[in-house]
Structure 1
Amino acid sequence: MTVTENEARPASGAAPEPVAHGGVRLTGVTKVFGRGATATTAVQDVDLDVRPGEFVTIVGASGCGKSTLLSLVAGLEQVTTGTLEVGGRVALMFQEATLLPWLTAAQNVALALKLRGVARAERTPQAHALLERVRLGAYADKRPHELSGGMRQRVALARVLAQDASVVCMDEPLGALDAMTRDHMHDEIERVAGEAGLTVLFVTHNVREAVRLGDRAVLMGSSPGRVVHTEHIDLPRPRRMEDPEVARRAGSLTAALREDVARHVG
């Protein structure tokens, strides 16, 4: 669980105009790990401008830098060159819920409130209210092992809300869930993000999921990671994974992904 508040971070050249609250802007961002002969360029010359309240999904082959990109936005890593601006606080949500097993659902959410500086007397009622928002009010006193995988991820979602972030980076948060639970979580994430006005960067390997959730789907190519294709998803909501138009758009993204992969193995 990480909360950061970012100004324009390590950059070459002059800083751009500040982004609006909830916005994200990457301009020519490159991240290199290591030095000399052992240096590895994880992402290179990435340009990405995310509007406040936009839901952007990020897809690509394994190792193309998707998670590195989220780490940069969240402030866990610093850019090597380029400019990165985030308008406000950032929260992270991972594939695993990463709940503390000895705490109840409400206590896990209250811990995020404590780290944010919320007064002790206000934490428990706020934690219960946040669990109600993700439809888990009746499970506030349950510990993680008493909850299903989907319930644990909803607790993690309540914890995101507790951080009062304007930008949420989600790194394959539904990857470990079964298909039915995943479908339900699509609805929950979409609903909660819309109600809270969150800007979401959502990494997934599932191309159809990217189309189901995103206002825009960004395809990252490999070696090094870079943006190679952007698909604006102008389909009406609510959407379903089985919708024919979702499948068609997913097919377009898959074709672009295959083309990029072929360039590196051919």
Structure 2
Amino acid sequence: MSTTTTPRHELAEGSLPARTRAPAVSISEVSKVFGRGPDAVVALHEVDLLVERGEFVCLLGASGCGKSTLLNLVAGLDSPTSGTVDTAGNKIAFMFQEATLFPWLTLGQNVDLALRLTGVPRSARPERVEELLEKVRLGGRGHRRPHELSGGMRQRGALARVLAQDADIVLMDEPFAALDAMTRDAMHDEIEGLWAELGLTVLFVTHNVREAVRLSDRTVLMESGPGRVKEIHAMHDLPRPRHLEDQRVTERAGRLTHLLKAEVARHVR
């Protein structure tokens, strides 16, 4: 008689239902080592993760657990030491913690540049720039330079530039970490609406537990030393749209916070 062992990261609360869609991202036994010899640092060790098309997945963990490293591997900005990352030929766009808009260009020119690099004809770009700025509620502000915009506006501008790339997969590395609480909450509504409207696949790195519960279909809790998947928590039972003050969001975030604190404590003893 044979027995089947469920992987530990599929045993967490709200286990993922049977998959019906082809994955947009397949990460298989991925390890990443920086350096060589006695100074080598193992950032990731045998990470396995599938992200379905149209899914919103948050990577949650303490500093140094390899979240950003994993995002860089998915983006193709670096290569794994071992294992495979397969994005199935999907086009990828990256949104960083800082808006990274070119300061010498206006907001509209920043978006126009992304369209040009994507191959959109010059004649079609002005109208498309306005459409994208309207989509992120920055209509009429295309003539402004980044220093004339608030932090939230700059991030919405960066989001418009991401959308201009017409990507299937959007990677987000703590994009709202530097924003105040009210602006961050508004950005949550913004990105959730665009994700649903455009059918994007989103892989989102955060340290913020409530943010992960608020946004994700699944939250991947990572452990450190080396970085790997500890547990995966599905949020499918929490109806959308969600709000940070919702009791069920608060309760789920509380349980995840307890797990995250225990993981952090394991490395500071």
Q: TM-score, normalised by structure 1?
A: 0.90
Residue aligning to 1:51: 52
Structure 1 residue 137: Cα displacement: 1.2
Residue aligning to 1:72: 73
Residue aligning to 1:153: 155
Structure 1 residue 173: Cα displacement: 0.3
Can you list the C-alpha shifts for 1:101-157, whole angstroms capped at 9, x where unaligned? 121111100111111122222222211111111111121111111111111111111
Structure 1 residue 247: Cα displacement: 0.9
Residue aligning to 1:96: 98
Q: Aligned partners of 1:265, 1:127: CA distance in 2, in Å?
A: 49
Comparing 120-129 and 230-239, the one that deviates more: 120-129
Q: Aligned partners of 1:168, 1:120: CA distance in 2, in Å?
A: 25
Matched, 1:262 2:243: no
Comparing 121-130 and 216-225, the one that deviates more: 121-130
Matched, 1:230 2:232: yes
Residue aligning to 1:128: 130
Question: What is the correspondence of 1:177-256 to structure 2 with a 5 Å cutoff?
Answer: 177-234=179-236, 235-256=238-259
Structure 1 residue 256: Cα displacement: 1.4
Which one of 116, 119, 123 corresponds to residue 118 of structure 2? 116
The one-letter amino acid paired with 1:226 is: R
Q: Aligned partners of 2:155, 2:267: CA distance in 1, in Å?
A: 35
Q: Equivalent residue of 2:83, what SS?
A: strand
Which one of 175, 178, 189 corresponds to residue 176 of structure 1? 178
Q: Aligned partners of 1:263, 1:98: CA distance in 2, in Å?
A: 35
Q: Aligned partners of 1:192, 1:57: CA distance in 2, in Å?
A: 16
Q: Equivalent residue of 1:236, what SS?
A: coil
Can you list the C-alpha shifts for 1:18-38, whole angstroms capped at 9, x where unaligned? x94x71110111111111122
Q: Equivalent residue of 1:170, what SS?
A: strand
Residue aligning to 2:83: 82
Q: Is the 8 A contact 1:229 1:256 kept in 2?
A: no
Matched, 1:28 2:29: yes
Q: Equivalent residue of 1:126, what SS?
A: helix
Count matched residues: 247
Q: Aligned partners of 2:128, 2:82: CA distance in 1, in Å?
A: 40
Q: Aligned partners of 2:176, 2:194: CA distance in 1, in Å?
A: 15
Q: Aligned partners of 1:257, 1:180: CA distance in 2, in Å?
A: 24
Q: Aligned partners of 1:198, 1:98: CA distance in 2, in Å?
A: 22
The one-letter amino acid paired with 1:71 is: N
The one-letter amino acid paired with 2:94 is: L
Comparing 123-132 and 63-72, the one that deviates more: 123-132
Structure 1 residue 58: Cα displacement: 0.9
Comparing 231-240 and 253-262, the one that deviates more: 253-262
Q: Aligned partners of 1:66, 1:38: CA distance in 2, in Å?
A: 21
Structure 1 residue 251: Cα displacement: 1.2
Q: Aligned partners of 1:96, 1:265: CA distance in 2, in Å?
A: 29
Q: Aligned partners of 1:39, 1:144: CA distance in 2, in Å?
A: 40
Aligned-residue Cα RMSD (Å) equals: 1.2
Can you list the C-alpha shifts for 1:72-104, whole angstroms capped at 9, x where unaligned? 000001011111111301110011100011211
Q: Is the 8 A contact 1:99 1:156 kept in 2?
A: yes
Q: Equivalent residue of 2:219, what SS?
A: strand
Structure 1 residue 52: Cα displacement: 0.3
Q: Equivalent residue of 1:139, what SS?
A: coil
Q: Equivalent residue of 1:264, what SS?
A: coil
Q: TM-score, normalised by structure 2?
A: 0.89
**Runs of 4+ off more than 4 Å:** none
Q: Aligned partners of 2:71, 2:101: CA distance in 1, in Å?
A: 20
Structure 1 residue 193: Cα displacement: 1.2
